[in-house]
């Protein structure tokens, strides 16, 4: 099933996933808008539809396994893998070190073809760490895909990334953040409620 960027926009807006406020993102950068993907992923039918578009784009890649970073990437990897008839694994943060790794008995055969998926890409850090984990485990990265590239195309990885929806949500370091300069309190998403953006 194909899906247009405008449809992805609608899904995020109607589910209340597009939030406004002052957010400290997982990357450490600050932004005035945040995409709370779990407001979308809580709906299996919407998740199935979005993942179907990823699976369709990846259909010719010969994917044997789909891998995603914790936490949202677990749900996406599972659903995309189900639709591709592949298996799903996930990469967790290394304890006491940077990067990600496969634990819990997950292993890859030499050259096993892996599609790497994630939900929202800001800097591409989580996606690249998962790509690196695939390679470290002996797998071959067949491709990468995300629901949303919120970097406006600025994120650069060492493999091409398919995105269902691309938008530019500016983000700032703490020292450059205009909201910090105004003294607006910042929150870490997922810990403090923020209002959803009203649909247009």
Compare 196 and 179 and report the one with higher pLDDT.
179
Strand partners, 20: 33
Break the chain into its structural domains and give their ranges: 43-177
Q: Give the pLDDT score at 192.
A: 47
pLDDT range class, residue 9, cuts 50, 70, 90: very high
- Per cent of the chain over pLDDT 70 is 94
CATH class of 43-177: alpha beta
Query: Is 60 exceeded by the pLDDT of residue 140?
Result: yes
Q: Give the pLDDT score at 143.
A: 95
The angle formed by the CA atoms of residues 195, 4 and 79, to the nearest 5 degrees, is: 75
Write the pLDDT tens digit of every residue in 14-71: 999 998 899 998 778 899 999 999 999 999 999 999 999 999 999 999 999 999 999 8
Query: CA–CA separation, 167 vs 108, rounded Å?
Result: 34
Query: Is 50 exceeded by the pLDDT of residue 194?
Result: no
Measured over the CA atoms of residue 176, residue 9, residue 60 and residue 64, the dihedral's sign is positive
Mean of pLDDT values over 5-17? 93
For residue 77, the surrounding DSSP H or E stretch is: helix 72-84
**pTM: predicted TM-score of the whole model, two decimal places:** 0.87
User: How many other β-carbons are positioned within 10 Å of the β-carbon of residue 160?
Assistant: 8
Please give the distance of CA 54 from its chain centroid, rounded to a whole number: 12
Give the number of C-alpha atoms closer than 13 A to the C-alpha of residue 160, restricted to the C-beta side. 5
Q: What is the dihedral of CA 78, 81, 87, 92, to 10 degrees?
A: -40
């Amino acid at each position: 099933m194909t899906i247009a960027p405008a449809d992805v926009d609608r899904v995020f807006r109607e589910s209340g996933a597009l939030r406004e406020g002052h957010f400290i993102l997982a990357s450490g950068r600050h932004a005035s808008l945040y995409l709370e993907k779990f407001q979308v992923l809580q709906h299996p039918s919407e998740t199935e539809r979005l993942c179907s578009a990823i699976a369709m784009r990846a259909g010719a890649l010969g994917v044997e396994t789909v891998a995603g970073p914790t936490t949202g990437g677990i749900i996406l990897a599972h659903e995309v893998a189900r639709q591709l008839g592949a298996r799903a694994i996930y990469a967790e943060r290394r304890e006491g070190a940077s990067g990600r790794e496969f634990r819990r008995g997950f292993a890859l055969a030499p050259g096993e073809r892996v599609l790497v998926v994630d939900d929202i890409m800001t800097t591409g850090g989580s996606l690249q760490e998962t790509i690196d984990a695939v390679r470290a485990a002996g797998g071959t990265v067949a491709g990468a895909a995300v629901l949303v590239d919120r970097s406006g195309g600025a994120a650069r990885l060492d493999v091409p990334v398919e995105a269902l929806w691309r938008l530019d949500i500016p983000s700032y370091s703490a020292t450059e953040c205009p909201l910090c300069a105004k003294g607006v309190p910042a929150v870490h998403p997922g810990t403090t409620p923020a209002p959803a953006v009203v649909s247009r």
